[in-house]
Amino acid sequence: SLPGSPMLGSSKKGAADSGQGYAAYRDLDHTNAAVQQGIYSWMNSVLKRAGFVGWRYDYVKGFAGDYVGYYNAMSDAAFSVGEYWPDSDGWSTQINSWISATGKTVSGQAGKKSRAFDFVLKQKMNEAFGWYKMAEGTEENNRELWNMSLLADAATLMMSNPAAAVTFVDNHDTGSTQQHWELSWGDVAAAYAFILTHPGMPCVANQHYFAEEHWQYRGEEVVSGTKNTMKQHIDYLIKLRHTLGIEYD
């Protein structure tokens, strides 16, 4: 409220935040039963009726993981993944702790656990291939650090918790138009060969698969050293995964 507003000092406010703040978006009180009901009712009556069967939760650091598991249970989600991108040391511990929290009981309802994007593996892929964007406007080219053994790091979700790992090469934040932490284009095909033949539940970035007029969509570009487009390359790897019966675990 603005100074002088009749609402100044009002007791009509939510409970303390259960996660980190995020100034760019509204701050919901997930401890409030009316808020909880509003969220899962919307999932069931609007999203599921539109054909959705699972959820991707954005910026899950913003509220306790307990509530993600609760919303999954109350909407009988067939799939759930959370975007937990840590901003301090101990990434693997932080993400796995969040995954565990999604199994907690809320309001007498046992949580339905969520998976999480494997940002630890994303970090290791960037380092292993020797190229990654450090900060806005800066790049490092460390080809002499080419070290594939980093991909076997026990801290990745793919290694420590494969049933909960959703692996990826880049997404709308790390790549695409934002390019906050993008893998070099010359290494993208090899990175897909890795995640599509290894544990975890791999996902493909739409800008790597589709071809549109906008420059970020590169599905029709030919993979270096082959005659296949990136889309054909990814299609082959997906078929290979299915044919060989490679599962998330």
Predicted confidence (pLDDT) at residue 1 exceeds the cutoff of 50: no
Ordered alpha helix ranges (H), 90-145: 91-101, 119-128
Query: Which of the following is catalytic: 29, 83, 153, 173?
Result: 83
- Tokens at residue 145, please? 């650090």
Rounded to an integer, what distance in angstroms lies between the CA atom of residue 180 and that of residue 159? 25
Query: Which of the following is catalytic: 58, 139, 140, 247?
Result: 58
Helices 230-244 and 185-195 meet at what angle, rounded to 10?
Answer: 10
Percent of the chain with pLDDT over 70: 88
Instruction: Convert the pLDDT of each residue in 159-180 to its tens digit.
Output: 999 999 999 999 988 877 766 7
Per the annotation, the verdict on 83 as an active-site residue is yes
Element (H, E) at 239: helix 230-244
Predicted confidence (pLDDT) at residue 2 exceeds the cutoff of 60: no
Predicted confidence (pLDDT) at residue 194 exceeds the cutoff of 60: yes
Per the annotation, the verdict on 58 as an active-site residue is yes
Alpha-carbon radius of gyration of the chain = 20
Residue 109: name the closest of 40, 19, 15 by CA. Answer: 40
- Tokens at residue 57, please? 């939760």
Predicted confidence (pLDDT) at residue 131 exceeds the cutoff of 70: no
In which band, very low, low, confident or very high, does the pLDDT at 242 lie, cut at 50, 70 and 90? very high
Other CB atoms closer than 10 Å to residue 177's CB: what's the count?
Answer: 9
Predicted confidence (pLDDT) at residue 230 exceeds the cutoff of 90: yes
pTM of the entire predicted model: 0.88
> Rounded to the nearest 5 degrees, what angle is found at the Cα of 181, between the Cα atoms of 224 and 80?
100
Predicted confidence (pLDDT) at residue 92 exceeds the cutoff of 80: yes
The better pLDDT of the pair 6, 226 is held by 226
Residue 185's pLDDT is 85
Residue 4's pLDDT is 52
Predicted confidence (pLDDT) at residue 215 exceeds the cutoff of 90: no
Instruction: Convert the pLDDT of each residue in 67-84 to its tens digit.
Output: 999 999 999 999 999 999
* Amino acid in the structure at residue 76: D
